[in-house]
């Protein structure tokens, strides 16, 4: 039986620490050593760096040059580089073309949709109305005088490569939303929303999907149980298919359980659902939804004409989704968008190359860290605490700092930090990016001391087998402690 001492049940939340902590550099090191040297984590590895952004000195360092798995702290690198390369007002386009001529209200040709990786064609910016953009596009097409398309609905996804999954991702992630595949044409984070509702105990639960589409086949193996039993539901998408098996139990005490399953072939998913929406809005399509790669190009007799361009929310809003919610799909799309904009093709390799070139201008040598994806989901990513701190320090002086800072979760208030450091001096003060994959827990960002001295900090823990809450408690305790710090002269 393992016993985990909980010397720090962090939340120095009951504010056992006085309102202010007066300390010199020696006392700061000694106190933080006590926290990071918790015996529960003797066999794990901490990497920690804390720096004053106003004075330039380091308040604490521990294994700062050790390469470590950052988990989602890698998103700090992806989003910082994206802001520097693309700018906070950058928007991702989706273009619509037609071939043939308009004969009355019939388009005697094809409707072509060309994507450039917009990750936000979903309900994220439309009050959870997943198909709102598709419906708006249908209205735009109707306004052009078109109510019938004699040809096909064609999707062009050549801005990105065909490698939807990241290098080094675990195979058993594939069914889950946090490992959704990338695509130049993507809908609803390349997932389908699965809504499970109870019926009568002993009977199958009721399952609906959003969008409601035959593109995905749901096999319902969820049973309703009485209100005193708990709800436990899992999904498994059969590899290479769009068959999703939903298993488990749902209690009658729960009105709704919502989960998300990934899809395969994002372009075809996009087109099938778009065709359905266009037809529901009165636009008849005689042909098929088809990927341009599978289309007989000789059938296109004239040069496609650009008729409409949709633009995403600005990058400042995109990175808020990435960092506040630790949204992997958005991060992976963004990495490929960078690759497309800099090198003309959206691949993870091109995106990483562009990011590394940008980090060199920040003071991080490209050959001294390893980056293979944009989200940190891969266990092949390796960075040092000092490299992350260098990026944070650089961004604090960048013209893009406002957008970057605003994208980070706020302790005790929102995002992945909404439930941490509540009702402490760190609430509303700490802005930090969390990170978590198996045996990795990280937190990096900014805070101000009681003297209003701005600090940048990086906490990365690797190779731990204790409950994750112990790592969180130590990180939170340090943030609370530093937020109360008044440095002795």
Q: How do residues 357-367 score in pLDDT, each as one tens digit?
A: 999 999 999 99
Buried b (16+ CB within 10 A) or exposed e, 330-367: bbbbbbbbbbbbbeeebbbbbbbbbbbebbeebebeee
Q: Can you give the pLDDT at residue 297?
A: 76
Alpha helices (H) in 311-454, listed in sequence order: 315-325, 328-343, 348-362, 385-395, 401-406
For 12-88+315-487, give the CATH class: alpha beta
In the numeric block, which tokens belong to residue 74?
């890698």
Domain spans of the chain, in order of start: 12-88+315-487, 93-311
Q: Are 174 and 237 in contact (CB under 8 A)?
A: yes
pLDDT for 433-453, tens place per residue?
999 999 999 999 999 999 999
pLDDT for 271-314, tens place per residue?
999 999 999 999 999 999 999 998 877 777 789 999 999 999 99
Look up the CATH number of domain 93-311: 3.50.80.20
pLDDT for 23-68, tens place per residue?
999 999 999 999 999 999 999 999 999 999 999 999 999 999 999 9
Average pLDDT score over residue span 216-233: 96
Percent of the chain with pLDDT over 90: 93
Whether the predicted pLDDT of 1 surpasses 70? no
* pTM for the structure as a whole: 0.95
pLDDT for 345-398, tens place per residue?
999 999 999 999 999 999 999 999 999 999 999 999 999 999 999 999 999 999
Q: Predicted confidence band at 17 (pLDDT cuts at 50, 70, 90)?
A: low
Whether the predicted pLDDT of 489 surpasses 60? yes
Of 472, 473, 479, which is closest to residue 425 (Cα–Cα)?
479
| E strand or H helix at 153 | strand 153-156
Encode 366-387 in three state secondary structure: HHHCECCCCCCCCCCCEECHHH
Q: Are strands 106-108 and 148-149 parallel, antiparallel or unpaired?
A: parallel
Q: Can you give the pLDDT at residue 486?
A: 95
Residue 167 phi, psi dihedral angles, 5° rounding: -65, 130
Whether the predicted pLDDT of 15 surpasses 60? no
12-88+315-487 and 93-311, same CATH topology: no
Q: Are 25 and 52 in contact (CB under 8 A)?
A: no
Average pLDDT score over residue span 95-123: 97
Q: Can you give the pLDDT at residue 16?
A: 57
């Amino acid at each position: 039986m393992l016993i985990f001492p909980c010397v720090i049940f962090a939340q120095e939340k009951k504010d056992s620490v006085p309102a202010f902590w007066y300390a010199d550099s020696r006392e700061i090191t000694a106190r933080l050593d006590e926290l990071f040297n918790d015996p529960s984590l003797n066999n794990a590895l901490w990497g920690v760096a804390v720096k004053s952004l106003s004075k330039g000195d380091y308040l604490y360092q521990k294994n700062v040059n050790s390469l470590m798995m950052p988990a989602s702290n890698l998103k700090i690198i992806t989003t910082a580089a994206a802001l520097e390369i693309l700018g906070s007002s950058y928007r991702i386009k989706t273009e619509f073309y037609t071939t043939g001529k308009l004969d009355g209200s019939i388009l005697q040709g094809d409707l072509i949709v060309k994507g450039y990786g917009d990750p936000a064609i979903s309900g994220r910016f439309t009050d959870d109305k997943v198909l709102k953009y598709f419906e708006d596009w249908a209205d735009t097409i109707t306004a052009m005088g078109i109510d019938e398309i004699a040809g096909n609905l064609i999707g062009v996804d050549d801005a990105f490569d065909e490698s939807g999954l990241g290098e080094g991702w675990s195979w058993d992630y594939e069914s889950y939303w946090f490992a959704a595949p990338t695509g130049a044409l993507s809908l609803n984070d390349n997932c389908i929303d699965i809504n499970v509702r109870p019926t009568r105990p002993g009977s199958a639960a009721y399952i609906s999907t959003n969008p409601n589409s035959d593109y995905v086949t749901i096999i319902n193996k969820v049973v309703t149980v009485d209100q005193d039993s708990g709800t436990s539901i899992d999904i498994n998408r059969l590899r290479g298919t769009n068959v999703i098996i939903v298993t488990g139990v749902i209690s009658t005490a729960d009105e709704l359980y919502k989960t998300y399953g990934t899809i395969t072939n994002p372009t075809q998913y996009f087109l099938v659902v778009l065709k359905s929406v266009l037809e529901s809005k009165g636009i008849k399509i005689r042909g098929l939804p088809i990927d341009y790669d599978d289309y007989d190009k000789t059938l296109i007799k004239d040069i496609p004409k650009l008729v409409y361009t949709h633009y995403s929310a600005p990058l400042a809003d995109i990175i808020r989704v990435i960092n506040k919610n630790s949204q992997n799909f958005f991060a992976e799309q963004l990495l490929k968008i960078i690759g497309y904009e800099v090198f003309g093709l959206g691949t993870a390799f091109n995106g990483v190359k562009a990011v590394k070139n940008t980090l060199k201008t920040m003071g991080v040598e490209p050959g001294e860290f390893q980056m293979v994806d944009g989200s940190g989901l891969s266990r092949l990513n390796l960075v040092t605490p000092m490299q992350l701190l260098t990026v944070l320090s650089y961004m604090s002086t960048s013209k893009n700092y406002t957008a970057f800072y605003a994208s980070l979760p706020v302790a005790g208030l929102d995002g992945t930090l909404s439930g941490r450091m509540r009702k402490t001096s760190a609430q509303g003060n700490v802005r930090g990016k969390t990170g978590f994959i198996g045996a990795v827990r990280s937190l990096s960002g900014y805070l101000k001391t009681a003297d209003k001295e701005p600090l940048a900090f990086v906490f990365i823990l690797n190779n731990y087998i204790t409950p994750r809450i112990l790592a969180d408690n130590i990180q939170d305790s340090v943030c609370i402690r530093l937020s109360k710090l008044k440095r002795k002269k």
